[in-house]
Structure 1
């Protein structure tokens, strides 16, 4: 009997530890903050071109626009950049749309130039998994990818 108790105690301790680890959750994206020069123009772009819904922001100081970009995530535009700057395409935001053709028509209708990943104008990229992608800039020069990934 004495030989059984230590292994049983060890098993109980290990199972408690394993259960605690299993209950830990990964972090969830809360928001992405983008510092902008022209808040009104950039807010209009994200609202009207990307059709992202605005949500109330708590500051009410004319320096913030908040958007709902997922079930639990937000995009925060914050006025205060000294100027519009150039950004590298590798650092981009990415949004998915249900139909690429309709989105490309919206870009054309609003005279927003777009390109493939390789930089070919007016041409979507087709990834090896079949997902189509286009790249363009917001009014602040931030690169945006829009794709038709269905998850």
Structure 2
């Protein structure tokens, strides 16, 4: 990135070569990584990574159920997108929708025993994809510092 006169006047420091390389590689990572993991999941499990993540988040929730809005947030999806994913998983018997016991107006997605079994079946494919497409490329880096930096950026 070529420094602009206004930036220099504000005292902004130009990117060094390493910073430039990181900044330029981010859009590719954000685009390519989820697609690569999803392709492996679809090819080997016929389960999208988004569906896998919905099952995973439900498996970790109390009573294996979450409000639809909370599941959408956990999966980094819109509520309408989450509803479509839940509908598909519900049609397979992996999730069921249940009324919220506290207010009776909202719905929860609940992981069924079949859904938990499907998650366990798909786990090794997901793990292999995450390692192959991401973690194996980070060898030698301080992963705790990287994770902290990524959390800081996201918040």
Q: TM-score range by the shorter chain?
A: under 0.3
> Hey, which of these two has a bigger chunk of helix by percent?
2
The answer to which structure has the higher strand fraction is 1
Normalised by the length of structure 1, the TM-score is 0.24
